[in-house]
Amino acid sequence: MFMEAFSIIWAYREGFLKGLIVTLQLCAIIWSVGIVGGGALGWAGARYPVWGKFIRTMAFLLSGLPILVLLFWLHYPAQAIFSIVIDPFITAVFCFTLVNLFSVSDLVRGAIADFPQEYITAARVCGLTTRQTMLQIQLPIILRQILPSLLTLQVVMLHTTLFASLISVEEIFRVAQRINASIYKPVEIYTALGMFFLAISLPVNGFALWLKARFTRNISER
């Protein structure tokens, strides 16, 4: 079965490659804007209460709304209301980036807001500068705390990109569906698709687990 899956991938490599490129483009935008923008927004949220409230509210609202509903709403009713037509790829990017942005920013905001002030006080009385305190005390502790959750979230976002196929974005899942419609080999095609996602997700998940084991060890004192 696996050999047959590989032979189908090889036979339709051009189509799969195009789908893969679209999926990777989606991920690249969702991940980069989500992590960089979410990190900055989270920092602002921890520093300025108004931004913090905004982030918490948005993250709360988005967590209560299924991504598929949001995607469909942005693709159909929203465009009908405003009498505009937007490329499905852009709609998908906007939708998933929005979710990732506020998820990351809430994660970062929470980690900064909950950071034990005592460690900063200790740094002050030891004469560390604000920059040293941020780079050598706050940042390493916060990164260790959020990195595993952040990576897991990005894997979830990769999986979420499959929904884009439902609004006609030619990403890898849609390509697989189209090939299956023409040759009807669902076992081989979806096995190949599963292997593709495992090949990307498992190393990232494994890395997240390793980070968790390595850095988020029990630091409670005896």
Partner 1 sequence: MLTANNLSKSFGAHQVLRDISVTIAPGTITTVIGPSGTGKTTLLRALAMTDVADRGEITMDGKNYKFPWPENEKISPKPWPHITAVFQQLFLWPHLTLRENILLPARNFLRATMMDELQELISVLELAGFIDRFPNEASLGQRQRIALARALMLQPRYVLMDEVTSALDIEQVSNILGFLPRLKERGIGVLIITHALNFARRAADHILFMDQGKMIEHGNARLLDNPQTPRLKQFLSMVEAAH
Q: Choose the stretch contacting partner 1; rule: CB under 8 A; options: 13-21, 78-86, 135-143, 198-206.
A: 135-143
- Asked if 51 and 115 touch (Cβ cutoff 8 Å), the reply is no
Nearest to partner 1 of 90, 139 (CB atom): 139
Q: What is the secondary structure of 90-127 as a DSSP string?
A: HHHHHHHHHHHHHHHHHHHHHHHHTS-HHHHHHHHHTT
Cβ at position 107, least distance to partner 1 in Å: 19
- Asked if 94 and 75 touch (Cβ cutoff 8 Å), the reply is no
Contact with partner 1 (CB under 8 A) among 33, 137, 147, 204: 137
Identity of residue 220: S
Contact with partner 1 (CB under 8 A) among 141, 147, 204, 211: 141
Q: How far is CA 35 from the centre of its chain?
A: 8
Q: Among residue numbers 177 through 216, which ones bind partner 1 (CB under 8 A)? A: 215
Nearest to partner 1 of 57, 136 (CB atom): 136
Nearest to partner 1 of 13, 47 (CB atom): 47
Q: What burial class does residue 202 get, using C-beta atoms within 10 Å of its C-beta: 0-12 exposed, 13-18 middle, 19+ buried?
A: exposed
Within 10 angstroms of residue 154's Cβ, the number of other Cβ atoms is 20
Write the interaction track for partner 1 spanning residues 101-130; mark x where CB under 8 A is met and - where it is not. -----------------xx-xxxxxxxxx-
Chain residues that interact with partner 1, rule: CB under 8 A: 118-119, 121-129, 132, 136-137, 140-141, 144, 215, 217-222
